[in-house]
Amino acid sequence: MSLGKDLTGLEHMTPEQIRLILDTAEPFKEVSERQIKKVPALRGKTIVNLFFEASTRTRVSFEFAEKRLSADTVNVAATGSSVSKGETLVDTARNLEAMRIDMVVIRHPSSGAAEFLGNRIASNVINAGDGKHEHPTQALLDLLTIRDKHGKIEGLKVCLVGDVLHSRVARSNLWGLTKLGAEVAVCGPWSLLPRGIEALGVRVFGRLEEAIEWADVLNVLRLQLERMETGFIPSQREYYRVFGVTSERLERAPRPITIMHPGPMNRGVEIDSRVADGPHSIILDQVTNGVAVRMAVLYLLAGGRAELAEAAKGGGGNE
């Protein structure tokens, strides 16, 4: 089994492919715990991190994953590059291809940009977030973190809370979770829920209290502050009062609820600090797992085989 050439989203992946990535990530977790955090699995491979949108967490996580696999990496940010000088995406793609690179990690504000690039270049393309479409490695690290915490994914009730309409994290999570057998719900103001979402096999809660009553896991989405300006919700203040995940609300839950957040958090808007820093939060575990999951994706797309991942990491530390 392989992943194919590109990782553009989870919608069209099989459950087996998703499990393959999660299982391959397991042995790579340990690499980051070593004194010398490096294995030679991707030695000689060149990878371009092409970020058309600002990103700290995802870009750094990818870069660590690449470097810990010994790949040679180049970062291109939209500002200050030819991209900001009006070069089209297709020209950017052709120029990268002409430099004979092996992989591209792309983040882009337009939905479908990763697929667009993948269809036009021979290199492997990894989607690090495209518009409102998908952010597959974020969902994969969420899945891995849920599996670590609960020992399973199947049968768990996971609710995505907040701005589902504009969230690529929500879409990727929805596909990944349903494919692995979780029950999925979304919760938020109706103005931030996409039309027809029920048809994708998810439950919809209009009130956070109902979601808390139901869920084993809440994945709290970031509220992008520009949503107020564009009139989707009236104010942060009211959002926090109605949809803020607070310790008061969670105290009424029938069972302890695992709390996740893809970051960066707006403390006091979608989540309160006591919840984010509390005993049921696995938010920093998500960040840690992000590196291992991205190592697994890079390794598998480069042609590595899952059963050799253990051996690949075993050769580490000799650089």
Partner 1 sequence: MTRPLLLQGGRVIDPSAGFDHVADVLVEHGKIAAVGSNIGAPDGADVRSVAGKIVAPGLIDIHVHLREPGNEDEETVASGARAAAAGGFTAICAMPNTDPVTDNQAAVGFIVRQSGRAGLARVHPIGAVSLGQKGERLAEFGEMVGAGAVAVSDDGKPVASSHLMRTALEYARTFGIPVADHCEDPTLAAGGVMHEGLVATRLGLKGIPAAAEEIMVARDVLLAELAGGHVHLCHISTRGAVAIIREAKERGIQVTAEVTPHHLTLTDVACEEYDTHAKMNPPLREATDVAALRGALKDGVIDCIACDHAPHAYDEKEAAFDDAPFGIVGLETAFAVAHTELVLSGAFTLPELIRRMSTEPARVFHLPGGTLKQGATADIIVLDPMAKWTVDPSAFHSKSRNTPFAGRALSGRALLTVVAGAVVHDLEHATTR
DSSP 8-state secondary structure symbol assigned to residue 152:
-
Binds partner 1 by CB under 8 A, chosen from 15, 40, 194, 263: 194
CB of 259 to partner 1, least distance (A): 25
Q: At what angle do helices 15-29 and 168-179 cross, to 10 degrees?
A: 100
**Contact between 220 and 214 (Cβ < 8 Å):** no
CB of 269 to partner 1, least distance (A): 23
- Residue 97 binding partner 1, by CB under 8 A: no
Stretch that binds partner 1, among 20-28, 146-154, 179-187, 193-201 (CB under 8 A): 193-201
- Residue 86 binding partner 1, by CB under 8 A: no
- Residue 168 binding partner 1, by CB under 8 A: yes
Binds partner 1 by CB under 8 A, chosen from 77, 89, 204, 308: 89
Cα→Cα distances 114→91, 92, 93, 179, Å:
14, 12, 11, 22
Binds partner 1 by CB under 8 A, chosen from 80, 86, 151, 196: 196
CB of 171 to partner 1, least distance (A): 6
In the bound state with partner 1, the residue whose beta carbon lies nearer, of 171 and 313, is: 171
CB of 90 to partner 1, least distance (A): 5
Stretch that binds partner 1, among 88-96, 184-192, 204-212, 255-263 (CB under 8 A): 88-96
Query: What is the number of H-type helices and E-type strands within the chain?
Result: 13, 9
CB of 59 to partner 1, least distance (A): 20
CB of 295 to partner 1, least distance (A): 26
b (16+ CB within 10 A) / e for 280-312:
ebbbebbbbbbbbbbbbbbbbbbebebeebeeb
Tokens of 316: 């580490």
Stretch that binds partner 1, among 59-67, 83-91, 273-281, 310-318 (CB under 8 A): 83-91
CB of 130 to partner 1, least distance (A): 7
Number of residues that bind partner 1 (CB under 8 A): 25
Q: What CA–CA distance (Å, rounded) separates 55 from 78?
A: 11
Which residues lie below 8 Å from residue 199, measured CB to CB, with a gap of 6+?
A: none
Stretch that binds partner 1, among 17-25, 194-202, 218-226, 232-240 (CB under 8 A): 194-202
Closest CA to 267 of 250, 234, 245: 245
Which residues lie below 8 Å from residue 296, measured CB to CB, with a gap of 6+?
A: 21, 22, 24, 25, 28, 309
Give the chain's length.
319
Within residues 10-29, the interface with partner 1 by CB under 8 A covers 11
Closest CA to 101 of 37, 139, 45: 45
Within residues 123-162, the interface with partner 1 by CB under 8 A covers 130-134
Closest CA to 10 of 147, 134, 142: 134
- Residue 111 binding partner 1, by CB under 8 A: yes
Residues that bind partner 1 (CB under 8 A): 11, 88-90, 108-113, 115-116, 130-134, 168, 171, 194-197, 199-200
